[in-house]
Amino acid sequence: MGTWEAVRRGRLLIALLVAAAAIPPASSAAATTLPKKAKASSPPELLSELPVHAGRLVPSSVVFPIYGDVYPHGLYYVVMNIGDPSKPYFLDVDTGSDLTWLQCDAPCVSCSKGPHPWYRPKKSKLVPSGDPLCAALHSGIAQGENSGQCDYEIQYEDRGSSLGVLLYDAFSLRLTNSTRASPILAFGCGYDQQSAVQDASAPTDGVLGLGTGKVSVLSQLSNQGVTKNVVGHCLSGKGGGYLFFGDDLVPSSRMTWAPMSRIGFRNYYSPGPAKLYWGTQSLGAKQIEVVLDTGSTFTYFESHPYQAFLSAVKSDLSKTPLIEEFDDSALPVCWKGQKPFKSVSDVKKYFKTLALDFVKGKRALLELSPENYLIITKHGNACLGILNGSEAGLRNLNVIGDISLQDHMVVYDNEKQHIGWVRAACNRLPKSGTSSL
């Protein structure tokens, strides 16, 4: 079963590792379908009806409706039409990794039953081992020229993984300038998925990697001139929302911007280090490194900032009628009232705003209201959607997940190298229309 499965405490799809993968033994059907010595093709040309100006494509934007929610489903996904003829696939929106991949009938060694039939690969669409995208996927280390194909293995912080081979195929898009395009993009054909949760069907067909790396769909679209290297999302707290590539939907004002910060060698989206405030109370002098990640259902702080936050919350609630509830399996820290809560509105008066002050930005505050860190479970309890990242295996990293990004338009502008956000009504699709549906 794939790593995109929603589990009890939500997904945490920050990519840990991309490495060369071993193709199954020659006795397996997978090795027969995708032989090690197969000759991979060069990528086909862009198929499009895009306008051309002065001999160059004019970039536009593309918008996708988002489906899903933080609770109870634990993920947000979009529909992508892939292949020729194109077929629909549900892809988990993940800004915490680069590689897009589908469950793939190569045939499949380990896959879950998903919403659609597994993608069927063709030898003619294999990405060559010498392709620059293959080298980029493997951190600049080229695979052997004789291997014929580009193997991959990607592992996630939630102990899930996908193993497979890179392919080229068409992605059918309708752009906001009313044109259509079918760019040929590289993505992963995942024939071996593993997860901590076993024997369950998968709610999506794979993962849509939107990180900053060259192999991400966003980078490939930008390199082909289809869209600018800008991605944004608006996740509704009521469920749904929208995702966009390109800058046509980016507001010209009201946005809060912070410069992108590179954390080591990883292609994560980070507005840099931040100071934490509970209301007006500082939660420690130490700045914390922060990553924005739609592949994570909840928000994760390292042990020290988490404990400071939790202590501040519990101190405030000790003066209220709320009582800590220990028997709700949805999340580790919950409270109950005299009667079950129906929405966060029933309890928000007891909680303060949690603010992240990104020190590299000019007054770059990300303010999280109670709706951005609480959920009401099926038992009517109010539970914290901010978890101890140290217990989840995170090291020197704090992750702002879906729950804290809800009802904000968030923009990752790789052209200008900054990240912006503004509160927005994410339950309404933009007037410019949508792609793929």
Residues with catalytic function: 94, 293
Instruction: Tell me the residue ranges of DSSP E strands in 293-390.
Output: 299-301, 323-325, 334-336, 354-358, 364-368, 374-376, 382-384, 386-388
Cβ-contact 353, 279 below 8 angstroms: yes
Secondary structure, 3-state, 182-241: ECEEEEEEEEEEECCCCCCCCCCCEEEECCCCCCCHHHHHHHCCCECCEEEEEECCCCCE
Cβ-contact 61, 415 below 8 angstroms: no
Instruction: Tell me the residue ranges of DSSP E strands in 20-134.
Output: 47-48, 52-53, 56-57, 62-69, 75-82, 87-94, 101-103
Cβ-contact 127, 112 below 8 angstroms: no
Only one residue has tokens 């079963």, namely 1
* Two structure tokens written together for 179: 């044109």
Query: CA distances (Å), 244 to each of 132, 218, 219, in order?
Result: 26, 10, 14
> What is d(CA 391, CA 163) in angstroms, rounded to the nearest whole number?
26
Neighbours of 335 (CB within 10 A): 23
> What is d(CA 158, CA 142) in angstroms, rounded to the nearest whole number?
28
